[in-house]
Amino acid sequence: EAGVAQSPRYKIIEKRQSVAFWCNPISGHATLYWYQQILGQGPKLLIQFQNNGVVDDSQLPKDRFSAERLKGVDSTLKIQPAKLEDSAVYLCASSFERTGELFFGEGSRLTVL
Amino acid sequence: GENVEQHPSTLSVQEGDSAVIKCTYSDSASNYFPWYKQELGKGPQLIIDIRSNVGEKKDQRIAVTLNKTAKHFSLHITETQPEDSAVYFCAPLGQGGKLIFGQGTELSVKP
């Protein structure tokens, strides 16, 4: 079966610019996650969707980050305006159940200059 | 908030040796304990998990042991191979049903 697809793989922007990442989860997976992974650290959950509803966005910096999951399938994560500390890999994951195995995409690496 | 710590942060072994990584957690209500492996340039991948009703689980060269009383669980890799070189994360299930990832252990297996 196809895995979790993410794009773009790499993005370089200057601070205060905006960027958007796209994720297509595994077919049939109702739960979708966006994680931020700073170099040398473990992934940190930004937002969790169940179908197209938000389950947990407690660690999403809502003044600059936004995410949506239209029709309960694809999702986009946007950052506007970007800061230097947003440089990280943004990982999308999906799971069949809320407490089941997470399947991760390869990530989108963001560099903010 | 929940606290998850992994030790060691880096581990270097000779091919064929065993490797053990320990994860301690603070949430006594945790009942699901997975280990993920992340290779360079890829997303993490589940390699083994255990639920709180068992103390040990094995899958070929990989095993996980759980001590709920002491609130720690460990990953054991036997007969290590160069392809085991990666970063390993524990990710116990915390409050609200979300995984809390540790800071990672970089394992290097030298041929």
Q: Tell me which residue of B92, B89, B74 sits closest to B32, measured CA to CA.
A: B92
d(CA A28, CA A87): 31
Suggest the residue from A104, A106, A108 to mutate for an interface test with chain B (most B CBs closer than 10 A).
A104
- Which residues in chain B touch residue A40, judged by CB atoms under 8 angstroms apart? 103-104
Rounded Cα gap, residues A7 and A10, in angstroms: 8
Q: How many CA atoms lie within 13 A of B61 on its CB side?
A: 12
Kindly list the residues from chain A whose CB atom is less than 8 angstroms away from the CB atom of residue B101: 42-44
Residue of B33, B87, B98, B103 best to disrupt the A interface, most CBs of A under 10 A: B98
For every residue of B63-97, which 3-state class applies, written as one string?
A: EEEEECCCCEEEEEECCCCHHHCEEEEECCECHHH
Quote the pLDDT of residue A97. 80
Of residues A99 and B71, which shows the higher confidence score? Answer: B71
Count A/B contacts: CB-CB distance under 8 Å. Answer: 44
Distance of CA B5 to the CA centre of its chain: 11
For residue B37, pLDDT over 80 is answered with yes
Q: A11-15, A55-59, A84-88, B34-38: which range is least confident on average?
A: A55-59
Query: Nearest-CA neighbor of B47 among B38, B56, B55?
Result: B38
Contact B99 A102 (CB under 8 A): yes
Judging contacts by C-beta atoms under 8 Å, the chain B residues touching residue A42 are 89, 91, 101-104
Query: Does position B2 have pLDDT exceeding 90, yes or no?
Result: no
Is A41 in the B-facing interface, judged by CB distances under 8 Å? yes
Residue B96's pLDDT band, with cuts at 50, 70 and 90, is: confident
Interface touch A43/B44, C-beta < 8 Å: yes
**What is the C-alpha to C-alpha distance for residues A40 and A17, in angstroms, rounded to an integer?**
25
Report the C-alpha gap between A93 and A6 in whole angstroms.
10
pLDDT at residue A52 tops 90: no
Closest C-alpha to B52, from B72, B81, B78: B72
Q: What is the DSSP string of chain A?
A: ----EEE-SEEEE-TT--EEEEEE--TT--EEEEEEE-TTS--EEEEEEETTEEEE-TTS-TTTEEEE-GGGS-EEEEESS--GGG-EEEEEEEESSTTS--EE---EEEEE-
**Of the candidates B42, B99, B103, which has its C-beta nearest A41's C-beta?**
B103
A40 touching B (Cβ < 8 Å): yes
Instruction: Give buried/exposed letters for A50-66 (b at 16+ CB in 10 A, else e).
Output: eeeeebbbeebeeeebb
Q: What is the pLDDT of residues B5-21, one digit of tens each?
A: 999 999 999 999 999 99
Q: Tell me how far CA of residue A71 lies from CA of A55, A96, B79, in angstroms.
A: 15, 16, 47
The first and second tokens of residue B75, run together, are 């990953």
Mean of all residue pLDDT scores within chain A: 95
Distance in angstroms (rounded) separating the CA atoms of residues A19 and A79: 5
